[in-house]
Amino acid sequence: MVPKKKSTVLALGLAALIAGCGRSSNVSNEPDHDMTNATIESIPVSMPDNPVHTIVMPHDEPMFPPGPGREEFVTACVVCHSPRYITMQPRFSRTTWLSEVNKMKDVYGAHISAEQAQKITDYLVSINGQLDTGQAPKGTYGE
């Protein structure tokens, strides 16, 4: 670190950020020749001045409409993820939605019974599903 140059480097970094870093790049290993007290020559990068770096996440999640199974959905699903995990998906068949709900239950340990899983699936199908075509692929893990 080079305290005396920090503000300059930060300003350059911000300028680069604002400019979109769109310049032609190269793999730069050019040392900072103004280094004084370091044994390792560092590549100049801008780091935050404040040792505590904090962000505030936005909170704007969609409200789902009333319907059978909504209560189970809100209790069991929204505790771990936004309802947008539902609206992001295509209109899957009931088979696929049930497979997703069972994955949450059996693999990730969502606190729901088999009966609740059925109710949640019905609700998801009413929100963003379609009749079974009999050929929808089952979901799997990881995204």
Partner 1 sequence: MNRRGFLQLIGVTGATTLTASCNRINSVLETSPSPADLVRFPEKTEMILLTDRPPQLETPIHYFRQDLTPNEAFFVRWHLEGIPTSVDLRTFRLNVSGHVRQPLQLTVDELRSQFEPMSIVAVNQCSGNSRSFFEPRVPGGQWRHGAVGNAKWTGVSVKSILDRVEVKSGAVDVSFNGLDAPPLPSVSDFVKALSIDHARDGEVMIAYAMNDAALPMVNGFPLRLVVPGWYGTYWVKALSDITVLPQAFSNFWTDKAYRIPNGPNGTESPKNLAKVTVPINRFNVRSILVRPGPDEVLHSGIPNEIEGIAFDAGHGITRVEVSTDGGATWADARLDSEIGKYSWRRWRAPWTPTSRGQYRLMARATNAIGETQSKEQWNRSGFMWNVIQQVDVNVE
x/- site string to partner 1, residues 30 to 49, per CB under 8 A?
--------xxxxxxxxxxx-
Single out the residue of 26, 34, 115, 134 in contact with partner 1 (rule: CB under 8 A): 26
Write out the binding residues for partner 1, residues 62-91 only, by CB under 8 A. Answer: 62-65, 79-82, 84-85, 87-91
- Amino acid identity of residue 95, one-letter, is T
CA-wise closest residue to 64 among 129, 132, 126, 140: 126
Determine whether 7 is exposed, middle or buried from the number of CB atoms within 10 Å of its CB (0-12, 13-18, 19+). Answer: exposed
Query: Looking at beta carbons only, is 65 or 131 nearer to partner 1?
Result: 65
Choose which of 3, 4, 20, 36 interacts with partner 1 (CB under 8 A).
Answer: 20
Q: Report the 10 Å Cβ neighbour count for 19.
A: 9
Strands 129-130 and 92-93: parallel
Residue span binding partner 1 (CB under 8 A) among the ranges 67-75, 114-122, 129-137: 129-137
Q: Is 140 in the site for partner 1 (CB under 8 A)?
A: yes
